[in-house]
Amino acid sequence: MAERAHPYHEGFKDRWCGLKRNPYRRKLYERYRFCNGYIAGKAVLDVPCGTGWGTSLLGGYRFALGVDISEDAVAFASEHYQRRGDLRFCVGDMASLPVDDDAVDVLICLEGFEHVAREIGAAFVRETKRVVRRGGLLIMTCPILDDRGKDSGNPHHVYEYPERELIEIFNEGFRILSLERLEGPDGPGYRSVLANLKDARYTDG
């Protein structure tokens, strides 16, 4: 079970497992390749960006900012991937994004929502609605409980959402443009593209 995406981490090494490429590395590339179809000419926020490896796979944007709570991860990202003026990284909290109102066209949150408690997740949704312009996009991937209510078993995940709860969050103040249930290396998850309706306000509970 691989966790934080790092190009030098054993769990993400570029090697072949039997006839299939490392599934965690392959999924990382698939997630960011999917996002590239939505970001041409856009102002993009990637949170949490971790070491910036995934953010560095994005292309075609006008400007991209990666945000993560880990100072070490942001330092690595800044050293290895920050280039020119169109890709930058900074330390920040999902519950209080260091971004102005309506400054973002596309917010990307890939495998990060499950790493924070429900109350921080609720704050993140509110922050998303604040920083993403009306009609702008939230692209998210995250695991869900399986059909028996079992989680992935990943000790780094703070809260994995039941399918129904996650869909309710998506329907509160967003328009669902696409919603796919996908099987990952550690269980099921959702890949969603949501348009910000802006006038609605999500409140947990």
Check residue 13 and give its pLDDT.
Answer: 53
User: How do beta strands 174-184 and 187-196 pair?
Assistant: antiparallel
Q: What is the pLDDT of residue 148?
A: 74
Which residue type, as a one-letter code, is found at position 26? R
Nearest to 94 by CA among 55, 32, 50, 145: 50
Q: What is residue 202's predicted lDDT score, i.e. its pLDDT?
A: 42
Residue 168 CA to residue 72 CA, distance in Å, equals 35
pLDDT digits (tens, 9 = 90+) for 159-195: 999 999 999 999 988 999 999 998 877 778 999 999 9
Question: At 173, which helix (H) or strand (E)?
Answer: none
Tokens of 34: 């999917």
Q: Rounded distance, CA 14 to CA 16, Å?
A: 7
pLDDT attached to residue 7: 54
Cα 91 → chain centroid: 16
Whether the bond into 188 is cis, omega within 30 of 0:
no
**Contact partners, residue 163, CB within 8 Å, separation at least 6:** 144, 145, 181, 190
Do 164 and 132 meet the contact criterion of CB atoms below 8 Å apart? no
Residue in this structure with the two tokens 């509970």, named with its chain if needed: 205
**Which residues in the chain land under pLDDT 50?**
1-3, 8, 10, 12, 16-19, 200, 202-205
> For the chain, which domains are there?
32-196 (3.40.50.150)
